[in-house]
Amino acid sequence: METGAITLLDVMGWKGIWQRNKNAQQALRELQENTRAVADLVTQGTVDVFEVFKGLNVRLQGISGTLAIYTYSDEPERAIAYHCSVAASTIVYAITKGLPLRGAISYGEFSVEVEEGSTMMVGPAIDEVAAWYEVGDWIGAILTPTGYFRFQNVAFPGLRPLVPYRVPVKNAAPFLSLCVDWVGTYNYKFTKEALLRHFLEMQAVVTPDIAGKFMNTIEFYDHVSGFVDNSHEGVSGL
């Protein structure tokens, strides 16, 4: 096994996505291609804020509706921040394509073997990220506990890879973690109106379970943006 960072990003509701998105498979392929392009851009060091990541190498594997991203590196902060930059851009791009993603990033020992189209992933970092990537009741990605313990909040000029936030969890109390800041990526920032419009495009009928994920995502957006909507203060039931 080698040491490094691994990210799992899962398309929520993938099993039934074909009912609302006839081009879901093509959208997933384009998502993987975009992620690869962003990862390559980041490691080329041609954008000043990404100079620190120059030379790192990312590998991608698509497993049904889940995207696995992994990098071997013995520098936890650098590898984690790199994965945050790639994950942030991927989450934003996926929202614009109607693919809501949630996931997690871990750091530790793991091994990935690809043979004749099959992928085998083993190791403690794999076990941990697999246990956490579907926990959040929202669109977003978190750092797993061992990643959290290793990440010493090293400054990365021009980047804010992670923000502390209490992650919403279905049928459980929120827990404090470090979360990927996808709200303002290096090349794109949603307006709130655009974010809400994309949510409507994702789901024609918003049932209670879906509404909860969307609202939790909006709360994260507001928190990171430093904006709190007080327009409903004093309104009964709100």
- Taking the C-alpha atoms of residue 94 and residue 32, their distance in angstroms, rounded to an integer, is 10
* Domain range enclosing 137: 2-225
Chain-wide mean pLDDT for the chain?
84
This prediction has a pTM of: 0.87
pLDDT at position 152: 74
Instruction: Report, in angstroms and rounded to the nearest whole number, the Rg of the chain calculated over CA atoms.
Output: 17
Give a yes or no: residue 236 inside a domain.
no
Residue 108 pLDDT greater than 50, yes or no: yes
Number of domains in the chain: 1
Q: Quick check: is 237 in a domain? A: no
Distances (CA, A) of 205 to 52, 63, 93, 187, 208: 44, 27, 22, 31, 10
158 domain residue, yes or no = yes
State the distance between the two ends of the chain, measured CA to CA, in whole angstroms: 51
d(C-alpha 41, C-alpha 39), whole Å: 5
- Evaluate whether residue 231 is within a structural domain: no
CATH number at residue 213: 3.30.70.1230
**pLDDT attached to residue 44:** 85
